[in-house]
Structure formats: structure tokens, C-alpha cells
Structure 1
Amino acid sequence: MSRTILSVIFVFVVFWFAGCNQNSSPSAVIGEEKYIDLMVELQLFRSYIRTVPSDSATIDSLQTEIFNKYNVTREEFRKSHQYYQQQYVQQKERIDRAIEQLRMDQVQSDSTRPWEQNANR
């Protein structure tokens, strides 16, 4: 009898740990690529509002436009961000990809200003 109980407990513990290790994503989590693109866009937006005086209504309106562009709500982004933050190693990789995308945007932006390049010669 005790052997049967131990077997049942063992099976229960194995299934319980297997369930804990599953990293299933909630249905409201936005896709990783869209999430990275949105992080980049929001960072560009944050940089913009630091340089241009704006009131809170304007900031809120512009931020809403960004979310609408990606067909994502603030709440979906918040939940997705919380979900992705739990995956430390993968989140660092996502952030690194976003930083690289920002760098590439900067290089592309710099290369489209030939007058600045000529002035530096």
C-alpha cells in the first residue's frame, strides 16, 4: 500500500515540476519581432520628447499613435513586456537586437545627410 502511495506522489511531483518548467506564453503576448520593433519605436519616441517640449496630452496622443501603428494596446504591450522580462537571457538578446536596430537606423540617418559628410572633410 505504501509503495502505491509513494508511486502516486512521485508521479504527481514529476508532473508538477514539468508544469513549472513550461514557459507557455499567454494569448495576449505580442510576437517577439513586433515587440522589438515597438520597443525601438518607443525608445525613439522617448528620445524625441526629451528634446522637444511637449505637454502630457500631446505625449499621450503620440504614444497612442505608436500603439495603433502596431495594432497593439498599451495593456497588451505591458503584459507582453512583463512576460518577456521573466526570460532574462532572451530579454537581454531582444534588447541587444533593439539596440542594434537603433544603431542601424542612426547609420542610415547619418548616411542620408551628405552635407554633413562634406562639411567634415
Structure 2
Amino acid sequence: MSDRHVFEYALLRVVPRLERGECVNAGVLVYCRGKSYVGARTHLDESRLLALDPQVDLAGVRAALGAVEGVCAGGDAAGQAAGDDPGRRFRWLIAPRSTIVQPGPVHTGLTADPAAETERLLDLLVR
């Protein structure tokens, strides 16, 4: 039996001006059913974001990214989603929305350690 499990991931993008469609990658969401794991890691490059929109609400963007991490963490930080299983929280977070922080398309892979995979993807695709 393999020690690797299927996982799904999506980038979190910040789209400061929806009408322009420009974005900055600011985080990654990872879900691994086999390990009952859902996690998010974020990194906001404020200078890149300000280059797209000097008037962007940085505090609001930071709060939105923090809320995503809270939903993934579960417990009180997840609010109404606290009682939901990891898969349901992931599906809720990747649902399309027209807000400044948006999920990208979902991709898949194999991993033995979804938490380490979350860090690897953050380094590869966001930082």
C-alpha cells in the first residue's frame, strides 16, 4: 500500500480591481481526504499588489486571507464552518466568488505529507 495520497489544491488570488482582472497570487489551499487534512498558507506581496492598485485596502485583504486560514484551521476560528468536515470546508472555500480574494482552479497531485505540500506549493507558486 502506498504512503502517498491524492490531494487537491487551489491558489488564492487577490484581484484588487475586478474590472481589470489582474491578480496577485497570495496563498494556497490544500485538501487531502486520505489524511483528513485541509490547510491554507498565505503570503501577501504588498508591493506587487499596490503596483496593480495603489488604493487597495491592504488591511481588508489581510483580514480576508486570515479568514481563509481560520476556516481551514477549524475550531472557533472557522466560525459557522467549525463543525464541517475538512472536505466541506475546502469545497466552500474554492467556490467561485466575485470578491477581492478569489480561489483559482483546482489541481491534483500525490503527497505523503499534505502540510509539507502546502508549504512547498506556497514557495513554488506564491513567494
Q: TM-score, length-normalised on structure 1?
A: 0.28
Q: Which structure has more strand as a fraction of its residues?
A: 2
Q: TM-score, length-normalised on structure 2?
A: 0.27
Q: Which structure has more helix as a fraction of its residues?
A: 1
